[in-house]
Amino acid sequence: IPNDEDTPKEENIRCLPLLDHFGFECLPHQLVNRSIQQGFTFNILCVGETGIGKSTLIDTLFNTNFKEQKSSHFYSHVGLKIHTYELQETNVQLKLTVVKTVGYGDQINKEASYKPIVDYIDAQFEAYLQEELKIKRSYFNYHDSRIHVCLYFISPTGHSLKSLDLLTMKKIDSKVNIVPLIAKADTISKNDLQKFKAKIMNELAENSIQIYQCPVDDETIAQMNSSMNEHFPLAVVGSMEEVKVGKRMVRGRQYPWGVLQVENESHCDFVKLRDMLLCTNMEDLKEQTHTRHYEQYRCYRLRKMGFTDVGPDNQPISFQEIYEAKRQEFHEQCQREEEQLKQRFMQRIKEKEATFKEAEKELQDKFEHLKRVQQEETLKLEEERRKLDEEIIEFYKMRAASESLQTQTCSNVKKD
Ligand code: GDP
């Protein structure tokens, strides 16, 4: 026990700041380091008419110039252009996949326009499900291509949504996080824009279309996200042009009457979109994709494969039991099919046998007929031959008689 003299008095204790983290306080740092090492993936689907500004907005968002050929308006069907880019900002690596519609809204038959989009989203879910169901899964190397967000570009008509917009959004709203955008918002006046935004939100609600809602349960971003939700659909402008405003160079669009600054929040909602997508809600978008949209697809597919959590008696059912039941069902189905196949085969053989017998009988009849004809011919010929023989004999007889008559006549002449 230290004596009183050795114990330092309270006021003399020196407080040193911690130079490093200790204990389980370090856990978040481990996660951050691991994530930075692995890199991030983010997959965006851009749906909108040709020339509505999809490529320009993606370039403006990521400050890149993914040089691409301009799409034509004359495709016979809607297609998708898929590009994956490896981007880096400081030590953070981002594998960005951008999927853009090609020829969307250019066809007369609008019904078929949404199908390639729905099929693509489902195909990515299916690929992930197949990876999950493998015995040897490789999540570490697996490129997760599920779409995390769909930027839906609405034409700045100032009137209302087109039927194609409503149709497509309705088809994909349970499969992907939809963020509706009013494209080329610089072509619409401020007053009209507010009315247009309200009109769009009304139409979406009337048609029960679910769009992405920024989460407000995390108090650090709740305020920002709830104000973001009020700004939907975001009115965006894209441009990679640098324009001089005062002494600064800014990204914007120069008009005879002034400059629209892309990153000026009083000019358009571009910054809001960028913050929402990249700074505050990228992780939430990915989480929603996995826990809500993919989960729904997974349930649907597993049910279709015959899996269930409870049996007909509402009791939990094990995977083994389902597997055995499915195996038995499959076995019985195989036997049924085999039996049907055998029966069909026997039936075919009987039918073939009957046709062969018919053909054989026909041949036999033909043969008999020919034989009869030939016998009659032979008889006829024999009769003719017999007649000929008789005629020959008659002829020889006549010739002999005439010869003897001739010799008799000659001898009579000589005598005379
Ligand atoms: P995409 O076919 O949808 O990818 O369209 P692009 O990005 O290729 O853009 C088509 C044209 O629209 C280009 O000439 C762009 O300069 C122009 N554009 C793109 N974004 C905007 C915008 O926000 N406002 C205006 N006024 N024009 C834009």
List the pLDDT tens digit at each of the 416 positions of the chain: 445 555 555 567 777 776 676 777 778 888 888 888 888 999 999 999 988 999 999 999 988 877 666 666 666 677 889 999 999 888 889 999 999 998 888 777 777 788 899 999 999 999 999 998 888 888 778 889 999 999 999 999 988 899 899 999 999 999 999 999 999 999 998 889 999 999 999 999 999 999 999 988 888 888 888 888 888 899 999 998 888 888 888 888 988 888 889 888 888 999 999 999 998 899 999 999 999 999 999 999 988 887 777 777 777 777 777 788 888 888 999 999 999 999 999 999 999 999 999 999 999 999 999 999 999 999 999 999 999 999 999 999 999 999 999 988 888 887 77
Per-residue model confidence (pLDDT) at position 1: 43
Q: Taking Cα atoms as reference points, which of 146, 147, 179 lies closest to residue 48?
A: 179
Cα radius of gyration rounded to whole Å, the chain: 47
Sheet holding 92-102, edge to edge: 79-89, 92-102, 40-47, 149-154, 178-182, 234-235
Question: Which atom, in ligand 1's list, is nearest to the CA of 237?
Answer: 23
Reduce the DSSP state of residue 235 to 3 states and report it: strand
Structure tokens at 47: 């749906």
Expressed in angstroms and rounded, the spacing between residue 290 Cα and the centre of ligand 1 is 32
Per-residue model confidence (pLDDT) at position 64: 81
Per-residue model confidence (pLDDT) at position 349: 96
Hey, whose CA ends up nearest to atom 12 of ligand 1? 53
Expressed in angstroms and rounded, the spacing between residue 94 Cα and the centre of ligand 1 is 25
Hey, whose CA ends up nearest to atom 27 of ligand 1? 184
Hey, whose CA ends up nearest to atom 9 of ligand 1? 53
Whether this prediction's pTM lies above 0.80 is answered by: no
Expressed in angstroms and rounded, the spacing between residue 52 Cα and the centre of ligand 1 is 6
Hey, whose CA ends up nearest to atom 6 of ligand 1? 53
Hey, whose CA ends up nearest to atom 2 of ligand 1? 51
Q: Which residues form ligand 1's pocket by a CB distance below 6 Å?
A: 48, 50-56, 70-71, 184, 186-187, 237-238, 253
Per-residue model confidence (pLDDT) at position 78: 78
Strands 40-47 and 248-255 come out as unpaired
Per-residue model confidence (pLDDT) at position 67: 64
Pocket test of ligand 1: the residue of 47, 56, 236 to mutate, having most ligand atoms within 8 Å of its CB, is 56
Per-residue model confidence (pLDDT) at position 11: 64
ipTM of the complex: 0.97
Contact assessment for residue 94 and residue 42, using Cβ atoms and an 8 Å cutoff: yes
